[in-house]
Structure 1
Amino acid sequence: MLDLRLTHLALLAEIVSTGSLSEAAQHLGLTVASASRMLKKMQEDFDDPLFIRVWRGLTPTDTTKRMMPVVRELLERMEELEYQKHFSPEKLKGTITIGAADNALVSLLPPVIRAVRDKAPGLSFRLLPLDGRQFQRLAEGGLDFLLYPTLNLPELPAHFFGINLFRVSRSLLVDRNHPLAARYAAGEALTIEAIRMYPRILIKLQDSSRGPVFDISLPELRSSQTFIELPYFLGAPYFLEGTEYTLLLPTRTARFFARQIPRLIAIPYEGEYAENFTRLIWHERSDKSIPMQWLRSMFAMHAGENDAEQPPDQQEKGAS
């Protein structure tokens, strides 16, 4: 049985990285003599020179090359265990950058940010809009997380991971005096044919080279007359008051505005459409990071909390 310590494995990895015994020793805080003794022990244990001296330094033998994936994994696992032992959210500092549509500000993020703030007051947040380059930004480190609906991207690209946070249903936001509001108050279900009768406000995040980045609309409504197309959720409802325009929104967002703007009402749309979830996405570069794992757990526990998906007040349904 091998009698090696983690320092032996760390030295092996450092020599592979630097090609120099003296540099490896310096990085690990060892004397060259001590590092030399450790290397000699590993050479005896593995019955292999482990490194060959060439003009540019030390190059690993085939035996060392075969061992390195296992060595690196062991070192990573021990680092994770050490971090886990000492991990404390209170000590975290930095800025977490999230790519998301603007309605995340009202439908998802507030309870998450409050919960994180209570446990990790040293963290701050930055929200960036979706622009068609969000996966590139995520891979390069310009984003830490991405909030994106599964309907727009059912399968994630290679090297990306995700968790579904909650199901996304749709509701129609209209003026309380809208004919569809009266039909809903009378007990009628909302149909595509009924919605098509009225001009719509369309929310679409557009990238000229790739088409829509985010489109909340239904395919069946694309033949409807569009009064105005906007790239933002948060400004669109203010065009509805006193009109017969319609605005299809995620239910959480629609109900938020129905509470904020008394003259508007959110009508559930229960028609047939593909199942959709809000998904939290991250790149493999941060998959094993303990702080990022903790942050993902905070999203899973708190995203969309409060009463955002509770049914509307029964009195609201009958209001005129």
Structure 2
Amino acid sequence: MDRLGGEAGSLDFAALNTLLLVHRLGSFTAAAEHLGVNQSGVSYTISKLRRCFHDPLFVREAGRQVPTRRCEALLAQAGQMLDMLDLMAQPEVFDPAGSDLSVTIACNYYERILLIPRIVSALRKEAPNLSIRVINALGDGHLRLLNHDADLLVGPLGRTDSGFHSRRIHSEEYACLMDPSHPDAGRALTVEEYLTLNHLLIDYGVSWKSAYLHELEAAGHKLRPALIVPSPAGLRELLAGSSLVATVPRRLGERIAADLVMGPSPFKGRFEISAVWTARTHRSAMHRWLRELVLESCSE
């Protein structure tokens, strides 16, 4: 018996993918540009979906297409269906030496300096024709995975949501980095001494706050930085010959320290660096190979 009739019978995976894109990008125009089609094509697809599901699906608010409650439920189901289709299309075995596929890894400055060179070297050795892309994660790495922008996240996930798989790479903690002429260089500091220093704060933006700051604020303290920068890039040059102190992940400090001195921080802010992925790629032969190679290349 034909269970699908009317508009429902004409639905396909491409229409569901368009629904997800409009939600993710917030506009018909952006979705059309992403798909390489005219906006009228996206509008036609959404109109067909509206008739099928008897719901407006999106309403315009503050310049964005905002999903209705009915649409939110459909988005979750559509995502599961497309993930299942993607999994069905994956080959049961993967030959890295003969592959010309592409992989995208989301990470931040820390991983780009300490881990990505090792990962890329290992990938290029086993799969010389593989195309590798590295994108920023910041505090939205989990969204990069959920939106299919990345195949793998390397870094601190910082979330407890269900639906993610992860494997620990290593543990990390924060330390103080300063010029060797600084009177407190390399010395173990009390909390009071630490708070009175001229701090160089790395502020990654609203989507991410360093773990040592969470620990410091949880203890009832507030850091008053003398200098705020958006990235650890150029940190060595900023600290050299100055009275500034930067609190950075220990391994990163060891890599960039050179002629600087590193000492313990009273706020360790311990955290885990992990490889993180979702159910969409969990059983894929290629992605299993990718994860194992990443973990092996990053092992200490």
Give the TM-score normalised by the residue count of structure 1.
Answer: 0.59
Contact 2:212 2:268 survives alignment (8 Å): no
Deviation at 1:276, TM superposition (A): 1.4
The code of the aligned residue for 2:92 comes to Y
* Whole-angstrom CA distance in 2 between matches of 1:145 and 1:116: 14
1:111 is aligned to 2:118: yes
* Whole-angstrom CA distance in 2 between matches of 1:192 and 1:126: 42
Deviation at 1:257, TM superposition (A): 0.8
Contact 1:94 1:123 survives alignment (8 Å): yes
Residues 91 and 302 of structure 1: CA distance in aligned 2, closer, same or farther (over 3 Å):
same
Q: Which residue of 1 aligns with 2:286?
A: 291
Q: Which residue of 2 aligns with 1:83?
A: 92
1:215 is aligned to 2:222: no
Q: Which residue of 2 aligns with 1:138?
A: 145
SS in 2 for 1:83: coil
Q: Which residue of 2 aligns with 1:253?
A: 252
CA deviation vs aligned residue, 1:154-178 (integer Å, no higher than 9, x gap): x2x2222111110112221100111
Deviation at 1:192, TM superposition (A): 2.6
Contact 1:109 1:304 survives alignment (8 Å): no
Unmatched 5+ stretches in structure 2: 5-83
What fraction of aligned residue pairs are identical, expressed as a percent?
Answer: 22
The code of the aligned residue for 2:261 comes to I
Q: Which residue of 1 aligns with 2:165?
A: 161
* Whole-angstrom CA distance in 1 between matches of 2:210 and 2:222: 15
* Whole-angstrom CA distance in 2 between matches of 1:296 and 1:191: 41
Q: Which residue of 2 aligns with 1:316?
A: none
* Whole-angstrom CA distance in 1 between matches of 2:299 and 2:180: 26
Q: Which residue of 1 aligns with 2:296?
A: 301
Instruction: Count residues with an aligned counterpart.
Output: 215
1:278 is aligned to 2:284: no
Instruction: Give the stretch that moved more between structures: 101-110 or 213-222.
Output: 213-222
* Whole-angstrom CA distance in 1 between matches of 2:98 and 2:276: 24
Q: Which residue of 2 aligns with 1:21?
A: none
Residues 274 and 298 of structure 1: CA distance in aligned 2, closer, same or farther (over 3 Å):
same
Contact 1:149 1:277 survives alignment (8 Å): yes
1:201 is aligned to 2:206: no
CA deviation vs aligned residue, 1:98-154 (integer Å, no higher than 9, x gap): 22111212222111211111111112322222355432331121111112325x33x
In our comparison, the structure showing a higher alpha carbon Rg is 1
Q: CA RMSD in A?
A: 2.9
Q: Which residue of 1 aligns with 2:47?
A: none
* Whole-angstrom CA distance in 2 between matches of 1:122 and 1:131: 28
1:265 is aligned to 2:274: no
Give the TM-score normalised by the residue count of structure 2.
Answer: 0.63
Deviation at 1:216, TM superposition (A): 4.5
Residues 88 and 240 of structure 1: CA distance in aligned 2, closer, same or farther (over 3 Å):
same
* Whole-angstrom CA distance in 1 between matches of 2:134 and 2:238: 25
1:175 is aligned to 2:174: no
* Whole-angstrom CA distance in 2 between matches of 1:193 and 1:287: 47
1:300-319 residue pairs with structure 2 within 5 A? Answer: 300-303=295-298, 305=300
Contact 1:173 1:258 survives alignment (8 Å): yes
* Whole-angstrom CA distance in 1 between matches of 2:178 and 2:231: 17
Contact 2:173 2:269 survives alignment (8 Å): no
* Whole-angstrom CA distance in 2 between matches of 1:248 and 1:272: 9
* Whole-angstrom CA distance in 1 between matches of 2:247 and 2:299: 19
* Whole-angstrom CA distance in 2 between matches of 1:91 and 1:143: 22
SS in 2 for 1:213: coil
Q: Which residue of 1 aligns with 2:230?
A: 231
The code of the aligned residue for 1:83 comes to E
Unmatched 5+ stretches in structure 1: 1-14, 18-72, 306-320
CA deviation vs aligned residue, 1:235-290 (integer Å, no higher than 9, x gap): 3332111111111111111011113xx2x122233x46454110111121111111
Residues 189 and 99 of structure 1: CA distance in aligned 2, closer, same or farther (over 3 Å):
same
Contact 1:167 1:277 survives alignment (8 Å): yes
